[in-house]
Structure 1
Amino acid sequence: MSTAEYVHGYSAAEARRLGDQADVLAELLHADTAYPPGSRVLEAGCGVGAQTVHLVANSPGAQVVAVDVSADSLARARSAAPGAEFHRADLHALPFPDGSFDHLFVCFVLEHLPDPRKALTALRRVLRPGGTITAVEGDHGSAFFHPDSEHARAAINCQVRLQAGNALIGRELQPLLADAGFTDVVVRPRTVYADRTRPELVRGFTRNTFIAMVEAVRDDALAAGLTTPDDWHRGIADLHRTAEEGTFVYTFFKGVAVNPGQGQFGKLVTEG
């Protein structure tokens, strides 16, 4: 994945958004992921290290190695998660021997790739036989809210259309993993529900993660003729209304699968 393909950009504001997202969703997405002491874990596409922090915290005895293509993101990641080892590398040409990792972790990466199946196949090369992959992806088509708004849905669709890759990839995770050669694939939904009785989710997810993500594509959406200034303003205002007085629902998908073959190195402690 090249830096140009990341639709959200590499600003300090985007780094903060990623951090907010990882922290507020840590229990939902990471609580059941822990790797045994002595195992080698590769996080592919670590970005600014927002997820790496939680991987290291949940598996203090594991060796976490993280890679990303962006030097700026890696600099932030090293500061955020000093307990991990970082390398600059392309997912399709990883500088590691075959079968050199016991577990793979991929979070919010496949959605940005032009050929996620090809990337998963390349990643499988460095996973030992019997090792596991954990993949987490969102699906912007799963977002629904009250009060409903045609303008808000149109604003979200601008982000979906502008994103390189597939912003609806969550629903495809099971066949993607299977087609890439993994076996024993299990994918389960992880749903976020936010209303005024859950202010931490309203702030951390509805406002600071999801709405902030959509707001960031305003200029590109206008330049591409996907919306008008008035329609965009109305759509974003309606999204904020769901945070102020309504409800917001979004579903992530978490998959766990096995690289077929014989051999064991430790045991995955827990995976959902």
Structure 2
Amino acid sequence: MTTRTSTHHTHYVHGYSDTEAQRLGDQADTLAELLHAGTAYPAGSRVLEAGCGVGAQTVHLLAGSPGVLLTAADLSADSLSQARARVAAEAPAAQVAWHHGDLHRLPFADGAFDHVFLCFVLEHLPDPAAGLAALRRVLRPGGTITVIEGDHGSALFHPESAPARRTVDHLVRLQAEAGGDALIGRRLYPLLTAAGFADVTVRPRTAYADGGRPALVEGFTLRTFVAMVEAVRAEALASGLTTPEAFDHGIADLRRAAEPGGTLHYTFFKAVAVNP
């Protein structure tokens, strides 16, 4: 849920290409069980998904909570259009209201929702605390917020490679320069606490892929993680962070994690908190 113009948002460092939409879908499908396990809302609950993007997580949210009254919001009209089409194809019976707008200025009454869900959104906000405060306003007292974020600093790969590590760091730096934080997973507890939420519980959700898990190697190592890093090549070169040769060397080394004998470990963080 990002834009290139709003003062509340950075530009989306991963871009809005068809390739990125596909990557988001691959990521969501590969990690659905890992990330969505434990998230189930009662039928009839009023649920807000803030920053639904292309609907990659929306369909899994709906699958885990049939019968909810979902409002899916995003700042990108193009992404919303893709989300609507994805839900129509994969969850045609779902009751979804679509909202095009900024999560900092939602036109809903105080306490309008029973639950709020957001996944991979705070990492793109220059002021995630302000975003959480805005979401807390529309969450009823006693309602819950669920936040899922990654942390690129948690990536461990074998064979270890300095060029691969530098290439991942280029993505972290580009996201920081754009106003986001690719290391935000480790910050969820203090952010939610500072925003006034109570009963904050943060649990790591670890993705680990090796030769014994070929589906994860393909779906996570290659089509999610390596694809995400590789997608910022042009921006990294334009910013003068690296050379074509150095970047490509790093990607080639990173791909070795998907080859025989290679491994990749990555930690996501899932937080649940209550609006007191």
TM-score range, shorter-chain basis?
Answer: over 0.9
> Aligned residue for 2:8?
none
Task: Confirm or deny that 1:199 pairs with 2:205.
Answer: no
> Aligned residue for 1:75?
81
For 1:98 and 1:143, the matched residues in 2 are separated by 39
- Cα deviation per residue 1:154-208 (whole Å; 9 max; x = unaligned)? 0000000001310000000000000000000000100000011101111111100
Alignment of 1:8-27 (within 5 A): 8-27=14-33
> Aligned residue for 2:163?
151
For 1:65 and 1:2, the matched residues in 2 are separated by 18
> Aligned residue for 1:253?
269
For 1:229 and 1:75, the matched residues in 2 are separated by 35
For 2:3 and 2:18, the matched residues in 1 are separated by 15
**Aligned pair partner of 2:120 in 108, 111, 121:** 108
**Structure with greater contact order relative to length (CA < 8 Å, sep ≥ 6):** 1
> Aligned residue for 1:268?
none
> Aligned residue for 1:128?
140
For 2:102 and 2:61, the matched residues in 1 are separated by 21
Q: Secondary structure at the match of 2:147?
A: strand
For 1:50 and 1:86, the matched residues in 2 are separated by 15
For 2:129 and 2:248, the matched residues in 1 are separated by 37
For 1:31 and 1:229, the matched residues in 2 are separated by 40
Q: Is the 8 A contact 2:2 2:124 kept in 1?
A: no
Task: Confirm or deny that 1:7 pairs with 2:36.
Answer: no
Deviation of 1:2 after TM superposition, in Å, equals: 3.9
Q: Is the 8 A contact 2:116 2:139 kept in 1?
A: yes
Q: Secondary structure at the match of 2:181?
A: coil
> Aligned residue for 1:171?
186
Per the normalisation by structure 2, the TM-score is 0.93
Runs of 4+ in 1 over 4 A off after TM superposition: none
Deviation of 1:225 after TM superposition, in Å, equals: 1.2
Q: Is the 8 A contact 2:2 2:125 kept in 1?
A: no
For 1:95 and 1:18, the matched residues in 2 are separated by 27
5+ unaligned residues in a row in structure 1: which ranges? 261-272
> Aligned residue for 1:234?
249
- Cα deviation per residue 1:97-145 (whole Å; 9 max; x = unaligned)? 1100000001000000000000000000000000000000000000011
Q: Secondary structure at the match of 2:273?
A: strand
Q: Secondary structure at the match of 2:103?
A: coil
Deviation of 1:31 after TM superposition, in Å, equals: 2.0
Q: Secondary structure at the match of 2:19?
A: helix
For 2:72 and 2:226, the matched residues in 1 are separated by 28
Q: Secondary structure at the match of 2:163?
A: helix
> Aligned residue for 1:264?
none
For 2:237 and 2:142, the matched residues in 1 are separated by 48
Per the normalisation by structure 1, the TM-score is 0.94
Deviation of 1:3 after TM superposition, in Å, equals: 2.2
Task: Confirm or deny that 1:91 pairs with 2:103.
Answer: yes
5+ unaligned residues in a row in structure 2: which ranges? 5-10, 89-93
Q: Secondary structure at the match of 2:61?
A: helix
